[in-house]
Copies of this chain bind each other. A is one copy, B any other.
Amino acid sequence: MKVIPGPASRKLGLRLAELLGAEAVPITCKHFPDGESYVRLDGSVEGETVVIVQSTYPPQDKHLLELCLMADTAKDLGAERVVAVVPYLAYARQDKRFLSGEAVSIRTVGKLLRAAGVDKLITIDIHSDEALKALGIEAVSLSAVPLLARYLAEEKGLGGAFALAPDRGALERAEQASKILGGGFGWLHKERSRITGEVRVEEKALDISGRTVIIFDDIISTGGTIVAATEVLKKQGAARVYAACTHPLLVNDALKRILASGCDGVVGTDSVPSSVSVVPVAGLLARELRDEL
């Protein structure tokens, strides 16, 4: 097995190679002045299982295309099998046709990856089971929630906190976290307008007065959900509110907005680079990849 650390996940790819005791294939990636990507593999991959590590945070399309170029080139140079490790998989939120005529974008992404030679995809906390199925290729989604919960309990001293899902869909994550935090779990009702994108969180009686609450979500993008949930939780008497997510996209001034809303802190994994990407995922990925060795 050889590991190709893609340009979007260079550090993570090198760490993964180290943990697996596998060779990291040197790679040259650059962009021409007009923005076209260029990829060159500077080591042999012939006959190998090749693990390409490339997260697809913004600019998503550039990172996706680089992944396709790397996979197709690896296959063309004789790689036997290509496993794409995509810690954050873009387009997974468009996992069904919500309105008639809509693209089911994650299905298209799956077709492109397969056409580029990806035999298997490993990701972390994909938005939904539907998205995983819609990919149409062998795909696994690992959970980083235990890593996040352990970090919050051990490094932040937040053991005993209440684990909250901002909507029903995230409930499983909150339940999983509560097994480590030990302070119970619950959920809020969140609705997002398919037209305007606006988020509304309903108030709901929760036994959180005077307590510390940690909101667990898969992705924090603009932070709208966390801001709305924090406001509801504070109104209901929560003493402290934290947000934990696997993929801290934190678009524009999202972090500033979240902290301004009364949230006491945000924690994420390094699936996506950000100022809160403090929980490393290389170990989680390495355990899954041992089967491929």
**A111 partner, pick from B37, B108, B116, beta carbons under 8 A:** B116
Given contacts A101-B77, A116-B111, contact A37 B58 (CB under 8 A): no
B69 in contact with A61 (CB, 8 Å): no
Number of this chain's copies in the assembly equals 2
A91 in contact with B36 (CB, 8 Å): yes
Stretch at the interface among A38-46, A165-173, A183-191, A205-213: A38-46
Complex Cα spacing A141 to B73, Å = 25
Complex Cα spacing A76 to B136, Å = 14
Given contacts A101-B42, A103-B39, contact A61 B72 (CB under 8 A): no
Binary interface encoding of chain A residues 45-67 relative to chain B, with 1 for a CB under 8 A from any of its CBs, else 0:
00000000000001111101100
Complex Cα spacing A59 to B31, Å = 12
B101 in contact with A108 (CB, 8 Å): no
Complex Cα spacing A107 to B69, Å = 9
Complex Cα spacing A172 to B40, Å = 31
A68 in contact with B112 (CB, 8 Å): yes
Q: Which residue of chain B has the shortest Cβ distance to A77 in the bound complex?
A: B101
Chain B residues with Cβ below 8 Å from A19 are: none
A65 in contact with B68 (CB, 8 Å): no
Chain B residues with Cβ below 8 Å from A251 are: 33-35
Binary interface encoding of chain A residues 199-224 relative to chain B, with 1 for a CB under 8 A from any of its CBs, else 0:
00000000000000000000001100
Chain B residues with Cβ below 8 Å from A58 are: 34-35
A33 in contact with B252 (CB, 8 Å): yes
Q: Which residue of chain B has the shortest Cβ distance to A110 in the bound complex?
A: B115
Given contacts A38-B94, A101-B77, contact A108 B60 (CB under 8 A): no
Please, could you name 24 A-B residue pairs with CB atoms under 8 Å apart, sorted by A?
A32-B197, A33-B197, A34-B58, A34-B221, A34-B222, A35-B251, A36-B60, A37-B105, A39-B105, A40-B99, A59-B59, A59-B61, A64-B65, A68-B112, A72-B103, A72-B107, A73-B101, A73-B103, A73-B104, A73-B108, A77-B101, A111-B115, A112-B112, A112-B115
Point out residues on A near B: beta carbons under 8 Å: 32-43, 58-62, 64-65, 68-70, 72-73, 76-77, 90-91, 93-94, 99, 101-105, 107-108, 111-112, 114-116, 197, 221-222, 249, 251-252
- Beyond contacts A38-B103, A62-B62, A72-B107: 10 other A-B pairs, Cβ-Cβ < 8 A, are A33-B222, A34-B222, A35-B61, A36-B90, A40-B103, A61-B64, A64-B65, A77-B101, A114-B115, A115-B115
